[in-house]
Amino acid sequence: MHKTIHLLLFLIPASLIAVDVRAQSQGGYVGGGLGGSDASFNSSDFSLGLPQVAESQTKTDTGMKLFAGIRFDRNWAAEVGYTNLGKFKYNYNGAGAGTAGFDYKVSGFTLSGVGTLPLSNDLSLFGRVGLFGSTAKISLATATGAVGTALADAGFTVGSGASTSKTNLYFGIGGQYDFTRSIAARVEYEDYGEVGDSSDTGRVSVSLISASVLIRF
């Protein structure tokens, strides 16, 4: 009889702990982050091919993201989000022949599955695979001289531009630290793939390294 009572006294708290852990591992969360974005221009879409015109790129900017997710258990979750990767530039400098510069902006919505590998009670690694529905926008910010004339002949005048929407696969890897049951921090690298197209906006591959705060509810 005493052994039975002792066993029950052990099993009841253990079962309560298991229920509590399971409850913590399920539910929704929201978050947001900032970081450094990077762009890799497909030069064949942007180059004028003129030896007297030097071409350069501004490939980095500040990106931000907002996201919301639902945890199915400790290892699996699904997320939706919005990401603004900032503004990049492609510049032409022909010295006496004039100059020009394009602004290139990328933003879009994400849907991904997230897999988590706990390393301890507080620290975990995670990876994601999903879809990025991007909008790429290009506009001619400045144009002077013969370079500006060449771009005008190609259909670009200051203030004009184009936009392209595209959906492609993207992935991310990162780490998460849980400060409390409700608050966590993430550091993550995400590769959003190639956005834009060759005919309207030009193609650019974009990525983001970010730090985020996550709040569970």
Could you give the CA distance from residue 122 to residue 127 in angstroms, rounded to a whole number?
A: 17
pLDDT at 24: 54
Residue 13 has pLDDT above 90, yes or no: no
Residue with tokens 């005493």: 2
Could you give the CA distance from residue 173 to residue 128 in angstroms, rounded to a whole number?
A: 6
* Largest distance between two CA atoms of the chain: 99
Could you give the CA distance from residue 201 to residue 107 in angstroms, rounded to a whole number?
A: 14
Residue with tokens 């966590």: 184
pLDDT at 176: 98
Q: Worst-scoring range by mean pLDDT, 3-7, 26-30, 198-202? A: 3-7
Beta strands in the chain (DSSP E): 27-41, 54-58, 60-71, 76-93, 99-118, 123-143, 161-178, 183-195, 204-216
Q: Worst-scoring range by mean pLDDT, 17-26, 68-77, 137-146, 163-172? A: 17-26
- Give mean pLDDT, residues 141-167: 91
75: which 2 tokens? Answer: 């290892």
- Give mean pLDDT, residues 8-36: 62
**CATH architecture for segment(s) 28-216:** Beta Barrel (2.40)
Global confidence as pTM: 0.85
| Strands 60-71 and 123-143, sheet pairing | unpaired
pLDDT band at 49 (very low <50, low <70, confident <90, very high): confident
Which alpha helices (DSSP H) does the chain contain, by range?
2-25, 43-46, 145-153
Residue with tokens 């994400």: 110
Residue 19 has pLDDT above 60, yes or no: no
Mean pLDDT of the chain: 89
What residue spans define the domains of the chain?
28-216
Could you give the CA distance from residue 29 to residue 188 in angstroms, rounded to a whole number?
A: 17
pLDDT at 25: 72
84-93 pLDDT, tens digit each = 999 999 999 9
